[in-house]
Amino acid sequence: MSAQLRVGMIGNGFMGAAHSQGWRVAPRFFELPANPQMAVMVGRDAKKNADLAAKWGWEDTATDYREVLERDDIDVVDIVTPGDTHAEIAIAALEAGKHVLCEKPLANTVDEARRMAEAAAAAKANGVLAMVGFTYRRVPAATFARDLVARGALGDIRQVRAQYLQDWLIDAEAPLTWRLKKDQAGSGALGDIGAHAIDMAQFITGQRVGSVSGILETFVKERPILGEGQGLSGTAGSGRGEVTVDDFAAFTGRFDGGALGTFEATRFATGRKNALRVEVAGDKGSILFDMEDMNSLQYYDATAPSTERGFKRIFVTDADHPYVGAWWPAGHMLGYEHGFVHQAKDLVEAIVADEQPTPSFEDGYQVQRVLDSVERSSDNGSAWTSTAA
């Protein structure tokens, strides 16, 4: 593993910690064709950034992403900033000849996502690659579900049910963070977690959502304003501010392969912490993936004798399951952070092989169109709305 890929990460929040884990661990468990080096991390607060860089294992720090783009020794730019900065940073990085990994959703608007996809296509012609970080598709059980569908185990896909349920906003006095401001986050539950449900449903089924009928709701219309420099758990500052994104999103979708889907995304599902669930039903069987039981997959074989039918729990920890062979003996479970390790592995392999990593910016653009169509449908009385460009 003599070759190196030097990484510059822009941002140092929650996703910064997760991505750092991925870059740090991937070359220590997988035989990679190049060694990712955690070269520099960017954050606006110099002291905080330096402290986190030392904690997470980054060699150097900077306070402006442009410093990273100007460095000849940086090969990959990893973007983990709020959505309103994705387009600016990603397009500049691609034009500077850097491979790019960008967190989901790809952008805040369809226009931004389109420009990013166009920039990625132009960069690819010059050997520069881009990928969007829909990490949950790299959970072994989710990838295995995709494999079962692809080999025909479920037959003709008829129905998809996808939910992403969280409850971290049920307290009406929780502070007004950037995720609750449309100008920074783009949308609320719809874009933050609904994007994952859309990508996972499309990834597992191999079909894309072509039209939607949806509804959005904001349950808590205003929240306490944070004091200066305070995080989610900080003491509120003075006054209250308007919540400008949705708290809840639900929609019906028609897939291009003929299936019908129902989708729900909420951060008000009391008692649910990270319940990303996708159930796919075909004429030969069904599968159910649940992120809160992420090491297993529920599978129903409708072709079995009637006396033997029933959902069975497949423990997805065997060495022959996707990604698992690099880890622990069968039955020793994986966790949330492993998806980020698999993401780093797959991106490094794609870059060295000069192959388009997935999901691509074009894939991210397509998901952005679905998000936009749901919002437009809700604004128009839940009218059916096409996701076409």
Q: What is the mean pLDDT of residues 346-366?
A: 98
**pLDDT value of residue 237:** 56
What whole-number distance in Å separates Cα of residue 10 and Cα of residue 380? 37
| 4-136 and 141-334+345-357+367-379 share one fold | no
- Whether residue 42 is predicted with pLDDT greater than 50 in this model: the reply is yes
Checking 286-289 for CB contacts under 8 A at 24+ apart, the result is: 286/154, 286/311, 287/145, 287/148, 287/149, 287/154, 287/204, 289/139, 289/141, 289/142, 289/145, 289/200, 289/204
The pTM for the full model equals 0.95
User: pLDDT tens for residues 298-333?
Assistant: 999 999 999 999 999 999 999 999 999 999 999 999
Domain residue limits, the chain: 4-136, 141-334+345-357+367-379
- CB-CB neighbours of 311 under 10 Å: 14
- Whether residue 291 is predicted with pLDDT greater than 80 in this model: the reply is yes
**pLDDT value of residue 327:** 98
What dotted CATH number matches 4-136? 3.40.50.720
- Whether residue 232 is predicted with pLDDT greater than 60 in this model: the reply is no
- Whether residue 96 is predicted with pLDDT greater than 90 in this model: the reply is yes
Label residue 1 by pLDDT band (50, 70, 90).
Answer: very low
Label residue 262 by pLDDT band (50, 70, 90).
Answer: very high
**pLDDT value of residue 226:** 76
In the CATH hierarchy, which fold is given to the domain comprising 141-334+345-357+367-379? Dihydrodipicolinate Reductase; domain 2 (3.30.360)
User: pLDDT tens for residues 109-127?
Assistant: 999 999 999 999 999 999 9
- Whether residue 136 is predicted with pLDDT greater than 60 in this model: the reply is yes
**pLDDT value of residue 271:** 97
